[in-house]
Amino acid sequence: MDQSGLSQNRRSNRSPVLLSAKLGPDGSEVAVVLRNLSSEGALVEGSPLPIEGAATVFKRNELSVAGHVVWVAGRYAGIAFNRKLEPAEVLRHVPRPRQKFDPEFRRPGLACQPLSDADRNMLEMWATSAAVARPGE
């Protein structure tokens, strides 16, 4: 239930994440999953969640920022921070995307590996059958 679609009017960009965090104004913290984070708020998932309008403190590692619950829908809640986070604070908690594969840029071709006798015969038959199929050209 990501509330940060392109069709919605957002004041700040939200970075999608899947990290652990905590909510709670005092010693009664609730473990939540951080779904997205911006300089002005966060989308969290968990149960139980504070009620809409409740003051809370959002905690993720060394980041601790006061805020309040703007909305609650099932297991999801939107948290608005009382102060705007600096971009460095937000980026510290958003992991860099990992490259899924190491691209290998090389030209494919027949000369990459020696052809077997069977491959060479098949290639010769293919090349000569194309010339035979068009005798008028």
All domains in the chain, ordered by first residue: 15-92 (2.40.10.220)
**94-106: pLDDT as tens digits:** 666 666 777 777 6
Amino acid making up residue 101 = F
This prediction's pTM: 0.58
Q: What is the DSSP letter of 112?
A: G
Question: What are 102's two structure tokens?
Answer: 């190491």
Q: What is the pLDDT of residue 7?
A: 39
pLDDT at 2 over 60: no
pLDDT at 75 over 90: yes
Nearest residue to 55 via CA among 79, 38, 27? 79
Nearest residue to 35 via CA among 67, 89, 78? 78
